[in-house]
Amino acid sequence: MINQIRYHPTARDHRVLGWQHSILGWTMKKSGPVTSVWRPARGLVYLPELVLAWLLFLAHFAWEMLQTPFFSGMAARPHWTATLICLRATLGDVAIGLISVAVVALWQRDRWWFLSPSHAAIAVYLAAGLMATVALERHAVVSAHRWSYSELMPIVPGLGVGALPVLQWLLLPWPILYLLRRHYLGSDRRRDDRQS
């Protein structure tokens, strides 16, 4: 017999599928007629922070590689050197994304807030990512002179930072949150199959 932790749903959990860790797997409770589905442990794929880190890495690495012409000297660097610079920037973006999600999780007191995100939760997530990006970008460009922009980069007036790093945190969080939510809830058809 597999030891499971029983789950007592809260008012918020009646709106979304709630997941709870047990010793050997995951217990799922759904609102409506109470159903409990046990899923065997499948390793680290059910840790939302690791899934999120992977999604953040994929999206932000692609963005960093695509925006290299907008930074001075990047086009002239050897391919491997430019790739390592983009990799380092991507790891910073992953850290910003994880911290932004953690800020919302602490504020909402819900590690799984992204399953049914409110407008306020999304706004806090975007604001945390934007503030961290602008602060780090401003420090790197203005104070530390770690990198500079090429003439192709549009500058955000009043902030003194490039428009592409700001757009990065306005555009990428939406598909990342969608894919993270879909990873745990599945498609509508799969969700309907579990209900029957």
Q: Is 62's pLDDT higher than 50? A: yes
Task: With respect to residue 189, please indicate whether it lies within any of the assigned structural domains.
Answer: no
The answer as to whether 85 is a domain residue is: yes
pLDDT score of 11 more than 50: no
Residue 76 lies in a domain: yes
Can you tell me the mean pLDDT for 82-110?
95
SS3 170: helix
The answer on pLDDT for 96 being more than 80 is yes
User: What CA–CA distance (Å, rounded) separates 87 from 78?
Assistant: 14
68 found inside a domain? yes
Same domain, 150 and 106: yes
Is 131 part of any domain? yes
| Residue 51 maps to a domain | yes
| Cα–Cα nearest to 83, from 66, 95, 100 | 66
Question: What average pLDDT does range 112-134 have in this prediction?
Answer: 95
Task: Return the pLDDT at 152.
Answer: 94
Q: Are residues 22 and 52 both part of a single domain? A: no
Domain match, 133 and 36 both: no
Looking at the domain assignment, is residue 5 inside a domain?
Answer: yes
In tens, the pLDDT along 175-185 reads: 999 999 998 88
d(CA 52, CA 61): 14
> Same structural domain for residues 39 and 51?
no
191 is a domain residue: no
Asked which of 4-18, 117-131, 160-174 is least confident by mean pLDDT, the reply is 4-18
Predicted pLDDT of residue 189: 52
Residue 194 pLDDT greater than 80, yes or no: no
Work out how many domains the chain is built from and give that number. 2
Please name which of 180, 154, 181 lies closest in space to residue 165, comparing C-alpha atoms.
Answer: 154
pLDDT at 138: 93
19 lies in the same domain as 104: no
Determine the 3-state secondary structure of 146 from DSSP: coil
Highest mean pLDDT among 103-107, 158-162, 186-190: 103-107
Residues 86, 28 share a domain:
no
Of all residues in the chain, the percent with pLDDT exceeding 90 is: 59
Residue 122 and residue 160 in one domain: yes
Is the same domain home to 119 and 34?
no
Domain span at residue 109 reads 47-182
Amino acid at 143: S
